[in-house]
Structure 1
């Protein structure tokens, strides 16, 4: 028997626990770290469900991975699934299993395998989408006037960490379940679980690689920002130096002394203006030659 619940209340879980004789159902339910915990008469598996959020990345991205949760309780002849969040829908999976009776012939453990397998497939879909996003980021990081900033990198690293938290804790428990003997999990189901474990291990390695790539890209972005700031400071300094010359000359002639150079000369004013322009032009050419402007 497969009992599927969507965001049940505590009273509903209590009633179901009494009806099925599963005293640990309410105790083991709740927000928990992903993992698989087993005994001879009960196996509980908590899986984080994930979905890639489509957005106009990177400019308008606020969230990349949306998460939910499925908790499955496997007992002799029965499995109970408790779903939290809309993205953990199991109706399609139930219909697929009903269409393949040979899979259900292995008992409720086949349902647990199907749920874990579907969750790992979802992890793979999100990981592939992340790979495309990282490829776009990598091409934009080194593009002129790139819209990518450090905040986008931190967002992606945060989402990668969230995906890693969903995947990594399952590796060791799933391998233990697939390799150790348990009366609740027939040998044919353990064989299928070993295939899922291989996929999960590869996913964990890919996610770790993504984190390293993002760290490198983040460092490159910060270095690029620092170089841009240095360039801006050079330009500001160069223009400040150019503006200082006319400011100094005009300031001297604005002191209203009677005895100043060329004060009574007819061409004194044009000469001062020409001197200001000449000095500014020379400074501009010097800074341009040094690539400060």
Structure 2
């Protein structure tokens, strides 16, 4: 135990206490109320001149110590945060009530919004669900969303759903300190680039499913059901809702705005916009192709139904001849020809068989049977 007088110990710590908060090193020795990050926190890191600082500090202490350092920023990553966690995060970083409410909800449309000094970028995530065969209940594409809150010295990513994990995004962008040195907007660029990359990956898998479905529809056995085509169409519609609306926010980021990304990052955002255009073209083409497959299958069903109706009509005509002969000789009138003939029964059966075989041959020749 330190036996020095309290005044002496306090004076010894004075040089450290007089240092500005953003110049003090971040350690794991945090106050009791900020000792550990909540479970919803995937990662929290401080970046100085584009390089991650050692450790994983609590976001409250990290932001308090680095908020005035123009060379650094805090990146906090959240996954499905609870209302209590999001309320604390919002209070720490100065998010308004509307922003906190948006972060708690999922299913948002891709958009770019401005809330005071905070910019909100919303993107949809997408992931391909592997399956052995396509059924009328198969889940092909799993979607979620990720919200990027961009402040002066911080960036908060809030992800909902299983798809679109950002761990690889953090790892990749940390290998590019020159990009990270541009500040929080570098994280926004990395997230956008990763989401568009996922769109292209999912589009490649969907293309394979479409090729298999097309082969099944136009095969001889034609085993594809109309429900399977509708199921894949629903999945592609959900995929379109994730990809197509992102064009407007990205185009807005490319415009010269004082609160937008720095000029050094606009070329990178332009590359992301080009990749997104490729994804949009592929998804739109897949939708058109699926519509064509659906129309072809509907036409095949109409032809198959017509063939079935012709077969039914042919067999009905054959049965009608038997009914006609049996009906005539079943009337039991007294004065009818051949009623007393010894071979009348055999002759009637012979006439019925001859008529049935003749009609069957004619229908086969015409393609009805």
| TM-score bracket, shorter-length normalisation | over 0.9
How far apart, CA to CA, are the structure 2 residues paired with 1:143 and 1:261?
A: 56
Confirm whether residue 198 of structure 1 aligns to residue 274 of structure 2. yes
Match of 2:320 in 1: 244
- Counterpart secondary structure, 1:88: coil
- 1:158-196 Cα shifts (integer Å, max 9, x gaps): 111111110111102101102323345222222111100
1:6–1:82 Cα contact (<8 Å) kept: yes
The aligned length equals: 293
CA contact (8 A) 2:136 2:230 kept: no
2:90 is aligned to 17
What's the Cα RMSD here? 1.8
Shift of 1:110: 1.1
Match of 2:352 among 276, 283, 291: 276
Which consecutive unaligned segments of at least 5 residues does structure 1 have?
A: none
SS at match of 1:87: coil
> Separation in 2 of the partners of 1:60 and 1:233?
27
- Which stretch shows the higher mean deviation, 28-37 or 267-276? 28-37
Please tell me whether the aligned partners of residues 147 and 159 of structure 2 are also in contact (alpha carbons under 8 angstroms).
yes
Q: 1:90 aligns with which of 155, 160, 166?
A: 166
What is the 5 A alignment of 1:24-173?
25-29=99-103, 30-31=105-106, 32-38=108-114, 41-59=117-135, 62-173=138-249
Is the Cα contact below 8 Å between 2:111 and 2:121 reproduced in 1? Answer: yes
> Aligned pair 1:3/2:76, yes or no?
yes
Match of 1:175 among 221, 227, 251: 251
Instruction: State the alpha-carbon separation in 2 of the partners of residues 137 and 194 from structure 1.
Output: 35
Q: Which moved more, 1:187-196 or 1:25-34?
A: 25-34
Secondary structure in 1 aligned to 2:367? coil
TM-score relative to the length of structure 1: 0.93
Q: Provide closer, same or farther for how the CA distance between residues 7 and 59 of structure 1 changes in structure 2, counting only shifts above 3 A.
A: closer
Equivalent position SS for 2:163: helix
The residue aligned with 1:256 is 332
Q: Following the alignment from structure 1 to structure 2, what is the Cα–Cα distance between the partners of residues 185 and 107?
A: 9
- 5+ unaligned residues in a row in structure 2: which ranges? 1-73
Displacement of 1:77: 1.4
What is the rounded CA distance, in whole Å, between the counterparts of 1:257 and 1:270 in structure 2? 19
**In 1, distance between residues paired with 2:140 and 2:328?**
61
Distance across 2 between alignment mates of 1:101 and 1:163: 33
SS of the residue corresponding to residue 2 of structure 1 reads: strand
* CA deviation after TM superposition for structure 1 residue 20, in Å: 1.3
Q: Is the alpha carbon distance of 1:191 and 1:212 closer, same or farther for their aligned partners in structure 2, counting shifts above 3 Å?
A: same
CA contact (8 A) 1:40 1:183 kept: no
Q: C-alpha separation between the residues in 2 aligned to 1:222 and 1:199?
A: 35
- Give CA deviations for 1:242-269 in whole Å, capped at 9, x if unaligned: 0111122122323333333322111111
Higher-Rg structure is 2
C-alpha displacement of 1:206: 1.8
CA contact (8 A) 2:136 2:231 kept: no
CA deviations on 1:47-75 (whole Å, 9 max, x unpaired) are 11111122233346522111111111011
How much does 1:144 deviate?
Answer: 1.6
CA contact (8 A) 2:217 2:297 kept: yes
CA contact (8 A) 1:55 1:61 kept: no
Aligned equivalent of 2:16? none
CA distance in 2, matches of 1:79, 1:89: 16
Structure with greater contact order relative to length (CA < 8 Å, sep ≥ 6): 1
